[in-house]
Chain A
């Protein structure tokens, strides 16, 4: 509920030639990114800090964003930083209809806009986000520039290394490059002191996955995406969520194949699911409309047991290519898409949705428990 009259103008320029004019919020700089949206009504801080959104401009379809400020974040401590999925904002920028400029919630550290300024992330408010969502939905591969009044594209903010690959006024398409080096941990790191140890392959892992493993009594070894997996001792493997095209992840798929030759439990989440699917021999395709919401209905095929899930992806497994040792585990109740696959004999499973939620419903948190029980 900013006093929008006193604000600087900003324009969203789209790669299809359309322009949306609004008011600048956050940091005063130009940025480019792939246009994506999320229809979740809460959980903006989780989404903005989710590494899966790297290189993207995120449009919130819900009209009022920032109502409860930004939750506290101390010393990058993932265990206590509920509401944060990494230590910083990962989206290039955000587009909202209205932003709330104060924060009155007891759990809030600072107002949303303040956070954006601190993290050098621009955004635009006063946009007809419903129209913009329709535009994104109807246009394959749409990219955008946030350009504040009087600001030149040359002065764009380049927070992440892969962006250096683009010319200064070019639209940024994150799926053109392997984003793993940008989002993955640089060193191996061990957390917690559980009886069982899970090796988490960091493809841009959300903190809530780590929190849930620790809460369930596991020790975690977080390993960089390019680690030689044979050097890691673990009771099981989790291939994490992450950004970009799963086919553009270097030799990761090849190395995951090795894990599938073994017998230790493996769980894949979102990008991790797509990597495991590729490693198992299935094919990946880009969807006509991605799934970007907190209300994706999925169900387990034989039992017809249904769950509400949080999702954010534009690639999916082609169901006709699922390998013969694997079976379809979960299906989407809306478009019949593949939501999860399971190995017929070995303890391998992977899901397209986010059992760690954050943000979104916790209906499928049991999947992490089931995985741990197999360790």
Chain B
């Protein structure tokens, strides 16, 4: 039941403050808008007036609403105190606004503000929060309950260093305690290497840390929920494709875990529950482990006693609305009292079972910054993510890589086509955001799984699938080469139904297949994307003739053990049966979401898609969303009547249009990504609502836009549209430096630069 002091007094509702996460930053982005919005809904249902403090105007949680007040104030103790003074709330909730909200509440508690105004912290107590955040307190607690954490000790002599390393066990990492930028830190596999590293480091600093190295270990996470009663569930487990050494935010992540067995899973699950019990978490908690790839040895790395990026991902991966349930739990309910919102009949005390597999791939925008190292490590650099859902690992890998780069070619793009052996191996051993492409190229060149695993420490199970894709491409290209047919249609028709179905099952897009064909048959001709897309319709025609079409599957948390009417959907070629039958034909409105957050397109476009979808949900009761970004409110299944967690690609949108036969598609609410689909969808006779292909083209194509301005007599800087350097040089000779160089159809000035002189012009081009 709801806590006593939260119950309305007569007609007067009690107030609780919900802290947001403030402005978006790396490591803290749209996922907290999703969590916060769910919490607001859950609390309003319990007759509470929610006071949201969050200065992020691009968020859904700061929308105007009855039973909700919004303060666009910074999430800092100073400003939150002001809100407390004015509103006199009975409770404050810290766990839905990331680290910012958590720190703020700990501060307010320590300074006595909360006690002074009689404001209760809902959920995990401040003492428990501190235990989860403070390294020393946490280590002491883990020792007390017999949970291993990676050993680490400070030493000031080489002799001491060797002694500590002996205790901890090699390999160890050395870190200089007072040095900047990792000076003197390194990996020592043995005594000799440590002697060398330690003596070098101790010459410049008085003290170094010797730490157990877990480089190359499996990185595994659990999302745990615990209520006041002490009842505890693990909602989802997740495994990093990239082993320990790369921040989990920068890692490709699969859910559920794929390379561990039942015994390892339950060993870690039991430990996660034990930790959460002993820390005394109430609500949601994320627990991260390092697991040896060779033994049952493991360590707990850290815990987050709050909603996190991982919990948003876990919600979308399982369908279980973690934040919504967590908000009910922190307000006093126990899990047995709540229903699973997906099934609406079964208990919320439930661990979802999946009959599909999901893959998260981070989105980096490192090219937008000069001078930033592209190497991935322990500090997070990604700015967004996508999640792919499918019925096999090849399928989701292909989908996810296409989603994240908004590129129809995905993993087959051939970024490392011309790389030397040395460059390729260096990239695989020293990963940047492009490592997966390098691994794919290596497999195309015949590298073994063992070799790549040695270089990357990535589990062989994952690599075997990437290799299978590369082998399939090689084989297909060979078959195309041998074929005597001239057209795409005939060539693929000759490959046969089973062969094409297998390619689609492995996640190859029609676009990719056409590209293979063109690379073999017309190697010297350059084809535009538009031409390739048009040719891909030939494969589409053939597929439909052969009845090779994707099926719609539901995400229901129960793997079909119970009947549900879930509206959370994905498409797969690895299946034969559609889960849903559409009753209302030709009436839906499809809203295309924004895809991955990136610099220049984030929360604000999610806000636009959510508002659009909700409007149609209320007015027409047939609102459909397509999006692939797990950090969003638009991919909350209650935002629309049907949610397709899918690629925002030409092919996939057409697939969904074929299934839904909608009244129209709105592509102008999700930012540049869906906007770019308008011309091709229009060509494919899809009814576009909102901006038409023609107006988009006129606004986006610099040439047409400027011509329009000229026609209307509006001044603008002198410009040309150039396709060669010669044209540019002639123009610069005429108008002089500085000049602005920008491409058409891009987001927020990608590749746009000011050239002040000849040198910078050359670099920019």
Closest Cβ neighbor of B460 among chain A residues: A104
CA distance A306 to B337 in the complex (A): 11
B200 touches A (CB below 8 Å): no
Whether A361 contacts B266 by the Cβ 8 Å rule is yes
Whether B392 contacts A133 by the Cβ 8 Å rule is no
B residues in contact with A292, CB < 8 Å: 561
Whether B355 contacts A98 by the Cβ 8 Å rule is no
Contacts A68-B260, A97-B392, A306-B231: A333 and B347 contacting too (C-beta < 8 A)? yes
Closest Cβ neighbor of B296 among chain A residues: A107
* Pick from B257, B263, B553, B577: contact of A82, CB under 8 Å: B263
B710 touches A (CB below 8 Å): no
* Pick from B261, B393, B560: contact of A130, CB under 8 Å: B560
Closest Cβ neighbor of A138 among chain B residues: B563
Closest Cβ neighbor of A307 among chain B residues: B231
Whether A106 contacts B353 by the Cβ 8 Å rule is no
Whether A360 contacts B336 by the Cβ 8 Å rule is no
Distance in angstroms from B269 CB to nearest chain A CB is 6
Distance in angstroms from A171 CB to nearest chain B CB is 23
B residues in contact with A105, CB < 8 Å: 259, 261
Contacts A1-B393, A130-B577, A334-B346: A39 and B502 contacting too (C-beta < 8 A)? no
B559 touches A (CB below 8 Å): yes
CA distance A323 to B527 in the complex (A): 79
* Pick from A3, A39, A64, A107: contact of B392, CB under 8 Å: A64
* Pick from A297, A305, A308, A358: contact of B262, CB under 8 Å: A358
**Total chain B interface residues with beta-carbon distance under 8 A:** 60
Whether B336 contacts A299 by the Cβ 8 Å rule is yes
Distance in angstroms from B737 CB to nearest chain A CB is 56
Contacts A62-B354, A68-B261, A71-B261: A357 and B559 contacting too (C-beta < 8 A)? no
Distance in angstroms from A61 CB to nearest chain B CB is 4
* Pick from A98, A104, A129, A133: contact of B464, CB under 8 Å: A104
Contact mask for chain B residues 230-260; partner A; CB cutoff 8 A; 1 contact, 0 none? 1101000000000000000000000011111
A residues in contact with B353, CB < 8 Å: 39-41, 61-62, 293-295
Contacts A1-B468, A128-B577: A39 and B261 contacting too (C-beta < 8 A)? no
Whether A64 contacts B258 by the Cβ 8 Å rule is yes
B residues in contact with A362, CB < 8 Å: 266, 270
Whether A61 contacts B259 by the Cβ 8 Å rule is no
A residues in contact with B293, CB < 8 Å: 106
A residues in contact with B266, CB < 8 Å: 357, 359-362
CA distance A71 to B269 in the complex (A): 20
A residues in contact with B259, CB < 8 Å: 67-68, 104-105
Contact mask for chain A residues 61-75; partner B; CB cutoff 8 A; 1 contact, 0 none? 111100110010000
A235 touches B (CB below 8 Å): no
* Pick from B460, B561, B577: contact of A289, CB under 8 Å: B561
B22 touches A (CB below 8 Å): no
Q: In B453-481, which residues have CB < 8 Å from any A CB? A: 459-461, 464-465, 468
A residues in contact with B336, CB < 8 Å: 297, 299, 304, 306, 333
Residue among A292, A294, A297 facing the most chain B CB atoms (10 A cut-off): A297
Contact mask for chain B residues 357-383; partner A; CB cutoff 8 A; 1 contact, 0 none? 100000000000000000000000000
Whether A61 contacts B265 by the Cβ 8 Å rule is no
B96 touches A (CB below 8 Å): no
CA distance A83 to B233 in the complex (A): 23
B579 touches A (CB below 8 Å): yes
Q: How many A-B residue pairs have CB under 8 A?
A: 171
CA distance A42 to B270 in the complex (A): 15
A residues in contact with B459, CB < 8 Å: 104
A50 touches B (CB below 8 Å): no
**Total chain A interface residues with beta-carbon distance under 8 A:** 56
Distance in angstroms from B243 CB to nearest chain A CB is 14
- Binding site secondary structure of chain A: loop
Residue among A41, A130, A131, A292 facing the most chain B CB atoms (10 A cut-off): A130
CA distance A315 to B295 in the complex (A): 39
Whether A297 contacts B258 by the Cβ 8 Å rule is no
Whether B574 contacts A97 by the Cβ 8 Å rule is yes
B394 touches A (CB below 8 Å): yes
B residues in contact with A293, CB < 8 Å: 353, 558-559, 561
* Pick from B260, B350, B465, B574: contact of A295, CB under 8 Å: B350
Contacts A102-B464, A128-B577, A137-B563: A295 and B351 contacting too (C-beta < 8 A)? yes
A residues in contact with B191, CB < 8 Å: none
CA distance A130 to B269 in the complex (A): 26
A46 touches B (CB below 8 Å): yes
Whether B265 contacts A63 by the Cβ 8 Å rule is no
Whether B393 contacts A39 by the Cβ 8 Å rule is no
Whether A61 contacts B560 by the Cβ 8 Å rule is yes
A residues in contact with B233, CB < 8 Å: 308
A residues in contact with B350, CB < 8 Å: 295, 297, 333-334
CA distance A344 to B394 in the complex (A): 56
Whether A1 contacts B464 by the Cβ 8 Å rule is yes
B743 touches A (CB below 8 Å): no
B residues in contact with A4, CB < 8 Å: 502
CA distance A308 to B336 in the complex (A): 12
Whether B262 contacts A295 by the Cβ 8 Å rule is no
A residues in contact with B260, CB < 8 Å: 42, 68
Contacts A4-B502, A308-B351: A128 and B256 contacting too (C-beta < 8 A)? no
Binding site for A on B (CB under 8 A): 229-231, 233, 256-263, 265-266, 269-270, 293-295, 334-336, 345-347, 349-357, 391-394, 459-461, 464-465, 468, 498-499, 502, 551, 553, 558-563, 574-577, 579
> With A42-B262, A83-B261, A297-B347 given, can you name 19 additional A-B contacts, CB distance below 8 Å?
A39-B560, A39-B561, A41-B256, A61-B560, A63-B356, A104-B460, A106-B295, A107-B261, A131-B577, A133-B560, A137-B563, A293-B559, A304-B229, A304-B231, A306-B229, A308-B233, A334-B347, A357-B266, A361-B270
Question: Can you identify 19 A-B contacts, CB atoms within 8 angstroms?
Answer: A41-B256, A42-B265, A61-B559, A64-B393, A100-B461, A104-B459, A105-B261, A133-B559, A137-B561, A137-B563, A138-B563, A295-B353, A297-B347, A299-B231, A304-B231, A306-B336, A334-B347, A361-B269, A361-B351
Please list the 5 inter-chain residue pairs (A to B) with the smallest Cβ-Cβ separation, ordered nearest first: A43-B262, A131-B577, A333-B347, A39-B559, A104-B460
